[in-house]
Structure 1
Amino acid sequence: MARKPKYEPERGDARTRLLDAARDIVRTQGFAATSVDQLCRAAGVTKGAFFHHFASKEALGVAAAQFWSETTAAFFAGAPYHQHEDPLDRVLGYVDFRRDIIAGNLEEFTCLVGTMTQEAYHSHPAIRDACAASIFDHAATLEPDIRAALLQYGLAGQIDAASIANHTQAVLQGAFILAKAANDPTVAIDSVDHLKRYLTLLFQSRPKGGQHDHDPK
């Protein structure tokens, strides 16, 4: 979901360092290609310490998805788009925020749980379920603002807020895949811009209480 700071081995306990290392390494090379030995080296811990905290590599994957949810939840909770009074401005502000954090190398802004889902959806159901919880729980945070915007624009009852929230995540996850395929972050930015255009046109189709001027970038 969000771009997180790179792993700093001197911070945190062994479990946290392993989760930080998993976040960075899995986004770079995938879950299957990441070994327990590599995680231990990156985190600066022994293999015994790894298995003290995680019964298996799969258990580490589940914990990494949960850790991603916790850290990104705090990241998005403090984002500036929450400050807008108009609910549609908050929705579009979220999209702008997602656009703004597409920067740096691909592994720095692409989504850990999206990456693991693509690999583990069949082979590791526990990881798949943890990733699904992360993605859909994040989408659910958008629903109150979307629902309020639908009400304000006279669209309540016609469009489901949850489906729009999930669609935003489908676009974002797809944008990350395209960026990886093209090895070019601008491909992801283009997709996010199209998402903003779609949302703007959707809500402007039935303005209520005056016309809003939301110009996509």
Structure 2
Amino acid sequence: MPKLDTKPDAKAKLLDAALSVIRTKGYSSTSVDDLCREAGVTKGAFFHHFKSKNDLGVAAADYWSLFTGTLFTNAPYHDHADPLDRVLGYLEFRKALLRGGVPDFTCLVGTMVQETYETAPNIRDACDRSISEHAAKIEADIDAAMQARAMAVDWTAESLALHTQAVLQGAFILAKAKGGAAIAADSIDHLIRYVKLLFDVQTT
């Protein structure tokens, strides 16, 4: 019987492969063979770590959260003293990440949830958790900016934080449709203008 490739890094290789292949081909079109080929591991290694492709999809969403969490935690926009500047800096940082080909800057969980929201509830829930946890981080700065300005409005920091994610995910869809980052950058610029209007920031 052939020996299984169960080296300690095989799981990480498969998760890294998922981030790349699924953002390129989509979840439905990505096969276990595709993932194993990209990761350089055997199918035996895949099924040693994951019961199914759906099982990997859930793990990939959580892995994406860890991967992006580190990226955003270390981002320079946190250095701003004014929380509104941190919010705007976050959006500028998202725009700065629009580099490389479309698969390089689009969102893994946004890609997966579009395809699986009805057919794979466990993946849908993992994607929702990832997006919502990310939104909660910017929500804290939005809330602080609202409090600093004693704003009395009929919307919440949570709703605006989730709206930023809706715009970003929509921008990625347009980038896929148009075949490039330019439309996504324009969408983020419009979102920045919108946030400034909400907070009555004077622009020249």
- TM-score bracket relative to the smaller structure: over 0.9
Q: Would you say 1:35 and 2:25 are equivalent positions?
A: no
Q: TM-score, normalised by structure 2?
A: 0.93
| Structure 2 unpaired stretches of 5+ | 1-7
> Could you tell me which residue of structure 2 aligns to residue 6 of structure 1?
none
Q: Is the 8 A contact 2:171 2:184 kept in 1?
A: yes
Q: Would you say 1:176 and 2:172 are equivalent positions?
A: yes
> Could you tell me which residue of structure 1 aligns to residue 45 of structure 2?
49
Q: Aligned pairs, how many?
A: 197
184, 199, 204: which one aligns with 1:203: 199
Structure 1 156/144 Cα, relative in aligned 2: closer, same or farther at 3 Å?
Answer: farther
Shift in Å, 1:157: 5.6
The amino acid that maps onto 1:153 is: R
184, 187, 193: which one aligns with 1:191: 187
Shift in Å, 1:154: 2.4
> Could you tell me which residue of structure 2 aligns to residue 95 of structure 1?
91
Q: Is the 8 A contact 2:164 2:191 kept in 1?
A: yes
Shift in Å, 1:184: 2.0
Q: TM-score, normalised by structure 1?
A: 0.88
> Could you tell me which residue of structure 1 aligns to residue 138 of structure 2?
142
After superposing on structure 2, the runs of 4+ consecutive aligned residues of structure 1 that deviate more than 3 Å are 212-215
55, 72, 79: which one aligns with 2:75: 79
Per-residue CA deviation, residues 15-65 of structure 1 (Å, 9 max, x unaligned), is: 000000010000001011111011111111111110000000100000000
Q: Is the 8 A contact 2:28 2:115 kept in 1?
A: yes
The secondary structure found in structure 1 opposite 2:100 is coil
| Structure 1 unpaired stretches of 5+ | 1-11, 205-211
Per-residue CA deviation, residues 126-155 of structure 1 (Å, 9 max, x unaligned), is: 100000000011000011110011112221
Q: Is the 8 A contact 1:147 1:156 kept in 2?
A: no
The amino acid that maps onto 1:48 is: G
Q: Distance in 2 between matches of 1:159 and 1:37?
A: 47
The secondary structure found in structure 2 opposite 1:142 is helix
The secondary structure found in structure 2 opposite 1:34 is coil
Q: Distance in 1 between matches of 2:37 and 2:155?
A: 49
11, 15, 20: which one aligns with 2:11: 15
The amino acid that maps onto 1:133 is: R
The amino acid that maps onto 1:126 is: N
Q: Distance in 2 between matches of 1:156 and 1:61?
A: 41
Shift in Å, 1:182: 0.9
Percent of aligned pairs with the same amino acid: 58
The CA RMSD measured in Å over matched residues stands at 1.3
Per-residue CA deviation, residues 161-188 of structure 1 (Å, 9 max, x unaligned), is: 0000000000000000011011121000
